[in-house]
A and B are shown apart, each in its own frame.
Chain A
Amino acid sequence: AQTVTQSQPEMSVQEAETVTLSCTYDTSENNYYLFWYKQPPSRQMILVIRQEAYKQQNATENRFSVNFQKAAKSFSLKISDSQLGDTAMYFCAHAGGTSYGKLTFGQGTILTVHP
């Protein structure tokens, strides 16, 4: 069974600074996807970034980038130039290639951006 672990229940950062959220996972599959989702107080689940396991290049989306270490099964999210609107719960998630798209989520990290 896949597991996803986020060891940081809460993080805080000053506006305009950089913060990194950690995620580790365990899987027996070779083909899989990893995701970071943002959940603001509105409760909506918003996709931040996605990484395909077969791609060695780390995914980037504007101010968001990941550090994907496949051998170590680590998938951290770096947020650069943090903005007040980045304040939210962040979830790391895994979907295996043979799991019909079922997502396994980590426990979540609450990120607070301070002005």
Chain B
Amino acid sequence: NAGVTQTPKFQVLKTGQSMTLQCAQDMNHNSMYWYRQDPGMGLRLIYYSASEGTTDKGEVPNGYNVSRLNKREFSLRLESAAPSQTSVYFCASSGSRGRLSTNYGYTFGSGTRLTVV
């Protein structure tokens, strides 16, 4: 089925460990995003990639890095995990090319629950 695939679905890290969250979409979308969801705060944008070859910071980028490997894949890396990064992480993609169109669509992955102890 077409959509956004995130791996892993669950992960427990020790403080200071590193890991990479993987995301791939097969809808030929140009834009991809990483959000984190925390109780009472909704989803907040960490990083986004408007198109292949570009990445930009979102609202809460500190402690994270991203790579837009190709049009399909957009990974999120935690270099030195901290308890404050315990959260649910969502990858998403959209057909936006920077200008909203009448066919604007937005698809989310199923999320990764990350716990840092």
Q: List the interface of chain A (C-beta within 8 A of B).
A: 4, 6, 9, 31-33, 35, 42-45, 47, 50, 52, 91, 93, 95, 97-98, 100-108
Contacts and interface: CB of A to CB of B under 8 A. Distances in A.
A104 B106 CA distance: 13
Contact of B108 (A6, A45, A98): A45
Contact of B102 (A45, A52, A97, A104): A52
A43 B111 contact: yes
Given A100-B31, A100-B48, A43 B100 contact: no
B88 A43 contact: yes
B104 A44 contact: no
Contacts of B113: 43
Given A33-B104, A35-B106, A44-B108, A101 B43 contact: no
Given A31-B100, A43-B88, A91 B106 contact: no
Contacts of A95: 96, 100, 104, 106
Given A43-B88, A100-B31, A105 B106 contact: no
Contacts of B90: 45
B53 interface: no
Contacts, number: 70
Contacts of B58: 102
A101 B94 contact: yes
Given A105-B43, A107-B42, A100 B104 contact: no
Interface in B75-117: 88, 90, 92, 94, 96, 98-100, 102, 104, 106, 108, 110-111, 113
